[in-house]
Chain A
């Protein structure tokens, strides 16, 4: 309805009669005196501490121990039917014995729901807030993959951990569908009692590869 668009824009312009005619948007001062990072000490240690604060688990391993750690975590949660996004490095699943669900052709929501879990990489981590960021890049898959299955195992490299939110936001690619994940799904809607696990994965397991 272009009539409505014109009417709304006209109303905005008449409402802003107090704004000097020549003023540009950049003329309105924004003081960015806030810090880029509140993190102190070792950023990766902080990331681990903050992710665990959310009752997610973090397993720190060296490169060569990652496949065994991944297989063990999946085993502990009884995962026998694992969703594997395109682009996930094959060696990460070298020790996993169960079956795999490929997303090519795309799995239906019902198929995702019937799986036991999903493994993904991440775009980055944010230490201060204990957040992992997914942007549908290689090894992460489309957004539904990390949402519908009940267990999300996320592999993050220490080098991917940003100290704080401003630093992380500055490296995001706006065109990519991006999800910030801080702990498992949760609600505080009943008497403000926090309950983990509503609609998203009830278990979030992070495998942090150092080096």
Chain B
């Protein structure tokens, strides 16, 4: 993974068009993805259809998030006061570097050289595991999918099920090869049955849970009025981390704050049905500061900016911060389904990644990030699926314009030249007629050769698209002929 000087971890893949091109050649990957996204799409539709007031819940979720964003300073200060009053310690981190340094310092203060981790997008975003490793601290991912990715030194490809690109046989091979290097080895006769694989993970991790002194988590929500923090999960690895160690460090993006504890009644309905398509996920943990005699006796909450205030400043892009990381938009996206999450290069893949990543990084600062708003067909399925009604297609168009604007001046890109050309052609009927005649001739040429690509700079465009063969005669030519009859 490249860390360099950027605030959001890039997963070391080329820009989206190139990565997608390669991913499309991988038939195993496409099979795994198609199976997974189809399965979860169908399940989600059923789970959502059970609630006849789904649209009003979405509306409420969206409005609550809107309220939070418009008064974020107030809610964060209130959250800090509530957490502190309940015995927790709140830290503020402007960027990845600062957040990682705070975590590392806290872990070292406990004299620990290993930590257990709950799956968390925020800590992936800031490259926490790698930063801790540099400081001699081994972080073990305890979510099954994250463990698969970590053991294989692989890259995650989905927000909810990061190993969605791997099938059971690949996972068995990873466990047999890698587990022994980091603790209890997988059994010799491990089969590729999901049950057997989960059991191997249970045994491998249990020993680590029982001796861990420090755990690190993210947060799904934090309630400003009570200081209650919540983590939603399935496996129980989260509960292990939140309950057994003496010290808990939670890294939370600024935007995860909710005004009130009672708002959980909305989000505990929206999130499970949208993410795992269940009525309720197996385990939800809510904790408020420190409880004497129960769970960690030291609790640190790190509030992470890392580009979020930059995102907040763009009125039209702001609602990307409403995201509750359910990943419903990934599962319905035709582009994601075919290219997989790793093509996006960011820890945030899919439609939400295509709007969130460029904003966190800053539009116009990286070729990588700037390619993402174009990784969409604008079909709108993501908007329909989003439990907090983020208008992702609208935002993609907005960000595309920003990307184009950021490249004005200097050497124009081929698209800009093409648009300039179009402006000249469409500006006069005579020029348009001539262009149509040329097009018809070119159409014959393309048709004869059977080729579906264009030469020169236009080749990039046809690398991922077929050129429609132009008609042999234009409408106007036909009209003239038809009029004569």
Is residue B407 within 8 Å, beta carbon to beta carbon, of the partner chain? no
* Residues A198 and B254 in contact, CB atoms below 8 Å apart: no
Given the interface pairs A128-B279, A177-B287, A179-B283, the reply to whether A8 lies near B168 with Cβ below 8 Å is no
- Closest Cβ–Cβ distance, residue A19 to chain B (whole Å): 5
* Residues B312 and A16 in contact, CB atoms below 8 Å apart: yes
A166 touches which of B70, B142, B265, B312 (Cβ 8 Å): B265
* Residues B234 and A188 in contact, CB atoms below 8 Å apart: yes
- Closest Cβ–Cβ distance, residue A121 to chain B (whole Å): 16
Q: Pick out which of these stretches binds chain A: B86-94, B131-139, B371-379.
A: B86-94
Is residue A199 within 8 Å, beta carbon to beta carbon, of the partner chain? yes
B63 touches which of A28, A170, A195, A198 (Cβ 8 Å): A28
- Most A CB atoms within 10 A — which of B63, B72, B145, B206? B72
Is residue B424 within 8 Å, beta carbon to beta carbon, of the partner chain? no
Contact with B along A10-38 (1 / 0, CB 8 A): 01111110110001110011111111001
* Residues A181 and B71 in contact, CB atoms below 8 Å apart: no
Q: Pick out which of these stretches binds chain B: A61-69, A75-83, A106-114.
A: A106-114
Contact with B along A111-148 (1 / 0, CB 8 A): 00100000000000010111100001000001110011
* Residues B286 and A8 in contact, CB atoms below 8 Å apart: no
Is residue B1 within 8 Å, beta carbon to beta carbon, of the partner chain? no
- Closest Cβ–Cβ distance, residue A180 to chain B (whole Å): 4
Given the interface pairs A169-B262, A191-B194, A198-B201, the reply to whether A185 lies near B234 with Cβ below 8 Å is yes
* Residues A35 and B53 in contact, CB atoms below 8 Å apart: yes
Given the interface pairs A9-B73, A174-B223, A181-B282, the reply to whether A192 lies near B39 with Cβ below 8 Å is yes
Given the interface pairs A25-B75, A32-B60, A113-B210, the reply to whether A199 lies near B53 with Cβ below 8 Å is no
Residues of B within 8 A of A193 (CB): 168, 194
Number of A-B contacts (CB under 8 A): 250
* Residues A131 and B92 in contact, CB atoms below 8 Å apart: no
* Residues B264 and A11 in contact, CB atoms below 8 Å apart: no
* Residues A191 and B265 in contact, CB atoms below 8 Å apart: no
Q: How many residues of B contact A (CB 8 A)?
A: 98
* Residues A184 and B163 in contact, CB atoms below 8 Å apart: no
Question: Which residues of B25-60 are within 8 A (CB) of A?
Answer: 32, 35-36, 39-40, 50-53, 56-57, 59-60
Give the docked Cα–Cα distance between A54 and B168 (Å). Answer: 23
Give the docked Cα–Cα distance between A178 and B232 (Å). Answer: 12
* Residues B312 and A189 in contact, CB atoms below 8 Å apart: no
Question: Which residues does B use to contact A, with CB under 8 Å?
Answer: 32, 35-36, 39-40, 50-53, 56-57, 59-60, 63-64, 66-67, 70-77, 86, 91-94, 98, 102, 142-145, 148, 161, 163-164, 167-168, 171, 194-195, 197-199, 201-202, 205-206, 209-210, 223, 226, 228, 234-237, 239-240, 242-244, 254, 259, 261-262, 264-266, 268-269, 276, 278-288, 291, 293-295, 303, 305, 309-310, 312-313, 315
Question: Which residues does A use to contact B, with CB under 8 Å?
Answer: 1, 4-5, 7-9, 11-16, 18-19, 23-25, 28-35, 38, 50, 54, 106, 109-110, 113, 126, 128-131, 136, 142-144, 147-148, 165-166, 169-170, 172, 174-193, 195, 197-201
